[in-house]
Amino acid sequence: MYRKVDVPFELYEILILEADDEQLAKISEELGLALNVDEMKRIKDYFRQKGRNPYDIELQSIAQAWSEHCCYKSSKYYLRQYLLDASKADYVISAIEEDAGVVEFDEEYAYVTAFESHNHPSAIEPYGGAATGIGGILRDVLCMGAQPVALIDPLFFGNLDTPYERLPKGTKHPLYLLKGVVAGIRDYSNRVGIPTVAGMVFFDDSYLTNCLVNVGCVGIVRKDKIIHSRAGGVGDLFVLAGGKTGRDGIHGVTFASAELDEKSEEEARGAVQLGNPIMKEPLIHACLEVVEKGLLTGMKDLGGGGLSCVIGEMALAAGYGAEVYLDKVPLKEEGMAPWEIWISESQERMMLTVRPEHIDEVLYIFQKWDVPATVVGKVIPEKITRIYYKGYKIYEMDTEFVTAGPEYCRPYIAKKPEKELHEEVRPPEDYVKVFLKMLSHPNVAFKEWIVRQYDHEVRASTILKPLQGRVNFETHGDAAVIKPTKSFRGLAITADVNPWMCKVDPYWGSASSFDEMVRNLVAVNSIPHSFNDCLNFGNPEKPERMGEFVEAVKAIGWMAKGTKIPCVSGNVSFYNETPYGSVAPTPSLLGVGLVEDIRKVITSDFKGSGAVVLVGETEKEFGGSLYSVIMQQRCHIVPKTSPERLKAYSDVMLESFRKFEVKTCHDVSMGGVAICIAEMSFGRGIGFEAVRELSFIELFSESNTRWVVEVPETHAESYVQFFREKGLKAEIIGYSGGDKLNFKTFSVELDEADRMWRKGLTRFL
């Protein structure tokens, strides 16, 4: 099935023209292509029309471009149907089509956002996998000509108390993965000098054999300096800048497009890339300098598929093709085969297109920053990619054929929640015991151990930090706020999803996650402006898994269109599954809000001597709640929401911030009102006294579209009346002050609750 070509380097002809289906499947498996038989037959038909067999480099190139990771073959049909319409808004400059979304910030500037997964590499090698995830997301923002200003990292692991004897073969313990991933993010982001300001950490058994590492980045760019991910025109030169190319990261995208199993670590370790933040930092500076001087026609990062994807995509996006001189690529090691050079995903590399008259100046700037830069090809008029290596032509294919990829409308089964069991949710016998257990659950507990490892203040533009309150005794904030320019305008940033709710009901769980994203942005006094999604699911070839994905996309699209908050960029990560099961549906959302005046942001910590007002409507909705997990009670009624209700409450909340003195605001999410108030109390050691006995539903329900607000006592009645006059619900539920959390139903010393909360995560570490 393979024939060595008579050239002075390693090149094989793959004999697919005479291969039957069984042999095609064997070729795909042996070459690590991760292509099914139908896809191999489509390739076979293409080369039959060409009258020849493909070379190994050509077949490998198609496999990269047709991987799930690169061409979204299982998801784009449903994304188009339910979500892409939600990417439109007057202030959106570029959405979905490029490496990152570009959105208007003010008259002069735009902000740039990107959000991706690095799940499989992190499960195999947590430190390197997470670090290169950060490196890749920085490049996605950089390639739009933007200066990265903030990083975001939602992380998902198995339960930390998992006994080692319960670990399936080939699986690393969640504690090891957590430490490795956090260290990888810490070392890369801190060294490159970009603050990590937001994120989340979630623990659930479904992530035991397949952790999830999602990474996001926000950047800022002058509108007149935005660069696009396409070549300028015929004759443009392709310049490869940054790190050298090696054997690390080979088959990265095909590895990410298949399930993990116990052999994955041994067989796929070479697919994990090696990051180098010391190279990335000057690479960012050099790229931004050539952008500032107007010397580029296009720029794109080398991510999934390496050179094999970036060159064809840049050329075809401009309506052209490319000619490549592969032996010009700087290598880390000798003896690499051409196909290895072509598909390697070695890190810290950018591809630039430059007019010939500017090439000397561009190369000089990279030399000045001590960053390698080499001309490796040029743009040609035909829509063909042609590669030469040591004087031999080793690759010639229609660029459209390679980059188009297959598209599937996969069958799906929408999950129907089980019988609604109201009667199984009952009040606790010991309120204090349950409350303290909720506070110490790792999904609620203080995340200081993680947050403190990240430099969230580098660049000196973090106005509202992830931890808020008195020094060394802070509490969690709802969103971080960045000041990216000289003006007092700011960007609020949050990351949200509730996998427990999505597991019970993918539709309403995803809608609830969108609701929480908006609540967090509103809580700090920002206008929800745009969002990105990172959709993490199991094997799409299984109808039940595909059903989870479709329901999530439907819900997010419905909420986005109804609230008029555009989805400007995103990522789909499938095959997060092993023989032991699939991850919970995890549609992570990265929300960005506009802060009109950073001097008027609102924090989450009680200031004291204020009235505490609950805004919103509480129902008996416990599906996927922390209370149901702690009490081991089954409930399938996931909190409902609607874009109309969410928008109505959000608009009035923001109006109330302008009209009233609001001291504190915190959204009601995991654990309900009781946990929300506790977190508000912990920030300054200020307790809470309820005005009446609160029922267990009022205390622990996780109904959507709710906030707890602290206002001066003298304004409390008029604040509540302000909402009621607009047909919305608000109620004074207590007052801030004292050294207890007294809900009337039960009372606990603030110090005791604070201690349980602060050691909830560190007791495992």
Which residues carry out catalysis? 69, 118
User: CA-CA distances (angstroms) from residue 605 to 323, 474, 684, 744?
Assistant: 59, 8, 6, 21
Contact 671, 627 (CB under 8 A): yes
Distance, in Å, from the CA atom of 565 to the CA atom of 581, rounded to the nearest integer, reads 34
- Token pair listed for 345: 């995903």
Contact 269, 80 (CB under 8 A): no
Number of H helices, E strands in the chain: 26, 32
Contact 502, 538 (CB under 8 A): no
- Token pair listed for 673: 């009102």
Contact 272, 129 (CB under 8 A): yes
Q: Is 472 left (phi over 0), alpha (psi -120 to 50) or beta?
A: left
Contact 310, 301 (CB under 8 A): yes
Please give the helix or strand (H or E) that residue 26 lies within, else none. Answer: helix 21-30
Distance, in Å, from the CA atom of 514 to the CA atom of 516, rounded to the nearest integer, reads 5
- Token pair listed for 574: 């499938």
Q: What are phi and psi of 698, to 5 degrees?
A: -65, -30
Q: Indicate the length of the chain as a whole number.
A: 765
Give the 3-state secondary structure of residue 477. coil
- Token pair listed for 407: 């598209």
Distance, in Å, from the CA atom of 760 to the CA atom of 447, rounded to the nearest integer, reads 9
DSSP tag of 348: S
Please give the helix or strand (H or E) that residue 319 lies within, else none. Answer: none
HEC profile of 448-476: HHHHCCCCCCCCCCEEECCEECCCCCCEE
Distance, in Å, from the CA atom of 228 to the CA atom of 427, rounded to the nearest integer, reads 57
HEC profile of 374-416: EEEEEEECCCEEEEEECCEEEEEEEHHHHHHCCCCCCCCCCCC
Contact 13, 2 (CB under 8 A): yes
Q: What are phi and psi of 764, to 5 degrees?
A: -90, -15
If one counts every other C-beta atom within 10 angstroms of the C-beta of residue 745, the result is: 18
Distance, in Å, from the CA atom of 736 to the CA atom of 754, rounded to the nearest integer, reads 16
Contacts with 392 (C-beta within 8 Å, 6 or more apart), sequence order: 7, 11
If one counts every other C-beta atom within 10 angstroms of the C-beta of residue 368, the result is: 12
Contact 618, 707 (CB under 8 A): no
Q: What are phi and psi of 595, to 5 degrees?
A: -100, 115
Distance, in Å, from the CA atom of 203 to the CA atom of 173, rounded to the nearest integer, reads 12
HEC profile of 127-176: HHHHHHHHHHHHHHHHCCCCEEEEEEEEEEECCCCCCHHHCCCCCCCHHH
Distance, in Å, from the CA atom of 493 to the CA atom of 478, rounded to the nearest integer, reads 9
- Give the distance, in angstroms, between the CA of residue 690 and the centroid of all CA atoms in the same chain: 39
Gap between the terminal Cα atoms of the chain: 53
DSSP tag of 297: S
Please give the helix or strand (H or E) that residue 110 lies within, else none. Answer: strand 109-117
Give the 3-state secondary structure of residue 191. helix
